[in-house]
Amino acid sequence: MQIPNLSWMQTSSGYEDMGDGVGIPTMITWSHDGCEVAVEGSWDNWKTRIALQRSGKDFTIMKVLPSGVYQYRFLVDGLWKYAPDLPSTQDDDGNVYNILDLQEYVPDDLESISSFEPPQSPETSYNNLQLTAEDFAKEPPLVPPHLQMTLLNVPASYMEIPPPLSRPQHVVLNHLYMQKGKSGPSVVALGSTHRFLAKYVTVVLYKSMQR
Amino acid sequence: MYNSGLNTGHENSGVVGSILVPVRFIWPNGGRRVSLSGSFTRWSEPMPMSPSEGCPAVFQIICRLPPGHHQYKFYVDGEWRHDENQPHVSGNYGVVNCVYIAVPQPDMVPNTISPETSGNMEVDDVVMRPVLMFVLRETAWCRMINVKTTFREDYLDRTFEGFAQYSEADLQLSRDRISSFLSTHTVYELLPDSGKVTALDVNLAVKQAFHVLYEQGLPMVPLWDDFKGRFVGVLSALDFILILREPVNIQLGTNGSNLTEEELETHTISAWKVGKLQLNLKRQMDGNGRPCPRPLVQAGPYDSLKEVALKILQNKVATVPIIHSTGPAGSCQEILYLASLSDILKCICRHFKHSSSSLPILQQPVSSIQLGTWVPRIGEANGRPFAMLRPTASLGSALALLVQADVSSIPIVDDNDSLLDIYSRSDITALAKDKAYAQIHLDEMNIHQALQLGQDANPSLGFNGQRCQMCLRSDPLHKVMERLANPGVRRLVIVEAGSKRVEGIISLSDVFRFLLGV
C-alpha cells in the first residue's frame, strides 16, 4: 500500500544513503500467521531488524524510503520467511526474498478508474439544422474553464534538469491547443496531451503557417 | 620447491565485492585424510586438503578470504585437531586456530602468523596478486621458507593500478545479471508519469527551428513529415554545427561561408537534410546508386531495454524517439518519449542500488577496468589522441574538432591541462541568443566567449561544477554510473584530485559498451 508522494523528508530511520531523494512512506505487511514478526531489508544493507506491530491478524510497519528497488524478508518466530503473495526473487544460494519496487508516484490503476471509459454518445438525433449567418454573429460559447489547466502553459524551465511535469487532469486529455506567433512570425505550435496506458504524454508540434 | 602459484581449486568466497586474499593453510602433522573447516566456511562442510609434493605428511589448501579475523580447525582422520604451533584460542568449538588477514599492499612482508622464521630462502613471487604465505613449520622432510611478496613491474600495467584486480568471473557474472535485467524490462518503464515531447514539422525553416531548440532548451527534436504522415528524422545540435560550418547547399546554388539571415529564414529543414546528404556524411546508397537518407532510428514502447541500448550504441546516436505505431501497417504514429542511455542507466542504478553485492564489478575503481578514453601517459604508446582545447582557441576550430574527432564534447583546459570547462555539441544552440550566429564569424569568436553566451542565457548554469561533472580515477564504477544516470550528464571528466588535471573522459556509451560487453 502506498501513500501518494507528499514530499516528506526522511524521519526516523538513520541510515547513510537517505541523502538522495525524498522519502516515500510505504507500508510493509505480513498477513500470515506468527507471534513475533520482524523484517530486515536491503535499504540499510541488512543491518537492522525492525519488529512489526500487530493489528488484528496482520503485522505492519511503516517505512520512509527513497524511490528504488529493495529486497527484504521476514523473521517469523525465529524462522526466515518471505511473503508468497508479494513479488519475490531468488538469489544464487536459493534464498528467496520479497521485492519492493517503490515508485515516486502512484501509477494509475487502469482497471479502477472509470474516467478512462469514454462516455456514451448522448441520445439525440442528427437532424439539427445547419448554422446560419445569425448563429455566427453571436458570441461563441465560453471555453470550459477547466481546459485552462493544460500542461502546455507550464513555463519552459531553464534548469539543466527540468522538474517533472505534474499529472494532467483527465479533462484536458485529447484536446488540441494552438499557439500562434510566439516562436516566430509564421510559426504555430499545436499541442495536445494523451494517455498511453498509465502514462501521460504531452506533444507539441511546431509548424509553419502556409498561405 | 613449493609451488607458489595460485591453486584455486577450493575457493571459498567471503562477502562478494570485498577484496579476497588467497591464503595457504598448512597441516604439517601427518595423517591420511585431512580437511579444513573455519569461520569462513561457517564451520560447515570441511574442505579436503591435499598432501604437498615431496612432503606427504604436510597437507595444504589455498582459500580466498576477506581481510579480517578468522578461526579454523583441522579434521584429521576423523578427529578434530588444531595446530599447536600456530596461534590458537579457546572458542565455541574447542580450541581453534586463528588468523588475521591484513588488507594486502604491494611489497608487503607477510607473516602475521608464526614468528618462527629461521632458515630463510627468499622467493620472488611472480604472480600479479599479492599472496600471503604462511610460514611452514620445519619438519624432518622440509625446509623453511620465508616468502616476501613483491609486484614485478612487468606484470603491472601502469594504467590499471587498482590493487584489487577483478576476476573474470566477477565481470561475467555482473554482465550476465545486467543483460538479463535489461532483457526483461521494457522501454515503457522509462516513460515518466507525465512527459513532454517537442517535434518540428520538416517544412519549418531552419532559423525558426534553431530558435525553438534554444527557447525550449532542447538538444534534439524529432521531425514530422505531414505529407508522409510519420516521423522521418531528428534535428540535433550537430546539424547546426554543420550548417554553420559548411558552405551551403548545393541545391540552392549559393556559395560562400556563412548563411545569411535571409537564407536561414527560407531554408527549410527538409532542404537542409537533402543538402546534407550530398555532403558525404553518413551516406547510404539505395538500389540505383543515389544517396538515400538514413532511416530514422526509433524504438517502440514494448521493446526491451537491451534492444534499445544496443540500437543506440550501434547507430551511434544519443537519443532514440519512442514511437507507438498503431493502425494498418503501423501507419498511425504516436510519439511518446525520447530515450537515451542515461535513462536506461538510471533504471539500472535504481534497481541494483540496494543489492550492490549482486554486481561485484561495480565496486572496482574505474582506473582498473578498461573504461573510457584516457590521456596517454608519458612513455606510453599513443593510442587515440585526446582532444582538448584552450579557452582562447577559436570556435571554428572547436567545431571542426567536434566533427572530425567524432566526439560529442571537448574539455577546455588551461596551460597546465587543468579542467576549466567543457564545450559540447549542444552548446551550439547558445549561438541563437540575439541571433549571434548571423553576426559572428566562427574563426573570430573564441570558445570562452561562446561559453559566456550560454551562461548569460541560463544563469543557473553559471557554476562551473554543474556543467562539467568530474570524477577521480579511484572512484568505484557504481559511483561513476550514478553520476552519469543524472539527466543532462552525458560524460564525466576524470581529473586528478587537487590539481584538476584532465586524465580522461568516461561517457555513457563507454559504460554501456563495457557493461554489455560489446
Whole-number pLDDT of residue B276: 72
| Sheet strands (E) in B226-366 | 230-236, 284-285, 291-292, 319-326, 332-340
Q: Please tell me what DSSP assigns to residue B458.
A: -
**For A24-102, which CATH class?**
mainly beta
Suggest the residue from B355, B424, B429, B479 to mutate for an interface test with chain A (most A CBs closer than 10 A). Answer: B355
User: What pLDDT is stored for residue A147 in this prediction?
Assistant: 86
- Chain B (66-95) residues lying within 8 Å, Cβ to Cβ, of chain A: none
pLDDT confidence tier of residue B365, bands split at 50, 70 and 90: confident
- On whether the CB atoms of residues B412 and B420 are closer than 8 A, the answer is yes
Q: Calculate the CA B110 to chain-centre distance.
A: 34
- Position B162 scores a pLDDT of 41
**Contact predicate B345/B359, CB 8 Å:** no
Q: Is B183 helix (H, G, I), strand (E, B) or coil?
A: helix
Average pLDDT along chain B: 72
Q: Which helix (H) or strand (E) holds B449?
A: helix B447-457
Which of residues A119 and A17 earns the better pLDDT score?
A: A119
Give pLDDT, residue A113.
Answer: 61
Residue of B489 and A17 predicted with greater confidence: B489
pLDDT value for B18: 56
The pLDDT of residue B463:
38
- Note whether A200 contacts B200, CB cutoff 8 Å: no
Distance CA B375, CA A191 (A): 47
- Measured between beta carbons, the chain A residues lying within 8 angstroms of B481 are none
pLDDT at A22: 76
Of the residues B44, B203, B235, B353, the best mutation for testing chain A's interface (the one with the most A CB atoms within 10 Å of its CB) is B353
Residue window 456-485, chain B: list those with CB within 8 Å of chain A.
457-458, 460-461, 466
3-state secondary structure of A24: strand
Residue B386 C-alpha from the chain's centroid: 17
pTM score of the predicted model = 0.66
B297-335: pLDDT as tens digits: 999 999 999 999 999 999 888 889 999 998 887 788 999
Tell me the residue type at B496. E
Q: Specify the CATH number for A145-154+166-210; select among 2.60.290.11, 3.60.70.12, 2.30.38.10, 2.20.25.290.
A: 2.20.25.290
The minimal CB distance from A158 to the residues B217, B226, B324 is found for: B217
Whether residue B7 has pLDDT greater than 50: no
Identity at B125, one-letter amino acid code: D
**Count of beta carbons in the 10 Å neighbourhood of residue B518:** 11
Between CA A7 and CA B219 the distance in angstroms is: 30
Q: Which of A45, A105, A184 sits opposite B208 (nearest CB)?
A: A184
Q: What's the confidence (pLDDT) of residue A161?
A: 62
Residue predicted with more confidence, B450 or B105: B450
Chain A residues touching residue B196 (CB < 8 angstroms): 151, 165, 201-204
Residue-wise pLDDT for B220-264, tens only, equals: 899 999 888 899 999 887 777 777 666 444 333 344 444 555 666
Residue of A nearest to B225 (CA): A207
| Chain B residues touching A104 at Cβ < 8 A | 193
Least confident of A151-160, B300-309, B479-488: A151-160
DSSP annotation of B189 reads G
Integer Cα distance of B490 and B342 in angstroms:
7
Q: Point out the residue among A42, A45, A187 whose CB comes nearest to the CB of B204.
A: A187
Higher local confidence (pLDDT), A28 or B459: A28
Secondary structure element (H or E) that encloses residue A69, with its range: strand A68-76
Q: How confident is the model at residue B85 (pLDDT cuts 50, 70, 90)?
A: confident
For B174, phi then psi, to 5°, come to -65, -45
* Facing residue for A167 by CB, picked from B194, B201, B466: B194
The residues of A whose Cβ lies within 8 A of any Cβ of B are 17, 41-43, 45, 67-71, 91, 104-105, 107, 151, 156-162, 164-168, 183-184, 186-187, 194, 196-197, 199-208, 210
pLDDT tens figures, B396-454: 888 888 877 777 888 888 888 888 888 887 777 666 665 656 555 666 777 787 777 76
Average pLDDT over residues B493-511: 86
Predicted pLDDT of residue B285: 46
Domain ranges in chain A are 24-102, 145-154+166-210
Of A64, A70, A47, A66, whose CA–CA distance to A12 is shortest? A64
Q: Which three cell numbers stand for residue B255?
A: 556559395
B336 vs A201: CB contact, 8 Å cut-off? yes
Digit-coded pLDDT (tens) for B40-76:
887 877 888 888 766 677 888 888 777 777 888 888 8
Most distant CA atoms of chain B, gap in Å: 99
Decide if the complex's ipTM is over 0.95. no
Residue B502: name the closest of B397, B423, B416, B426 by CA.
Answer: B416
Range of lowest pLDDT (A12-26, B2-16, B161-175, B361-375):
B2-16
Cβ contacts of B313 within 8 Å, gap of 6 or more? B509, B512, B513, B516, B518
User: Is the CB of residue A208 less than 8 Å from the CB of residue B346?
Assistant: no
Using one digit for the tens of pLDDT, what is the confidence trace for A32-49?
A: 888 888 999 888 888 888
What does the pLDDT read at residue B283? 42
Question: Positive or negative, the Cα torsion across B422, B427, B433, B439?
Answer: positive
Chain B contact probe: residue of A47, A88, A207 with most B CBs at under 10 A: A207
Burial class of residue B149 (count of CB atoms within 10 Å of its CB; 0-12, 13-18, 19+): buried
Residue A37: burial class (beta carbons within 10 Å; 0-12, 13-18, 19+): buried
The C-alpha atoms of residue B411 and residue B469 are separated, in whole angstroms, by 11
> B408 near B425, Cβ under 8 Å?
yes
Residues of chain A in contact with residue B211, where contact means CB-CB under 8 angstroms, are 183-184
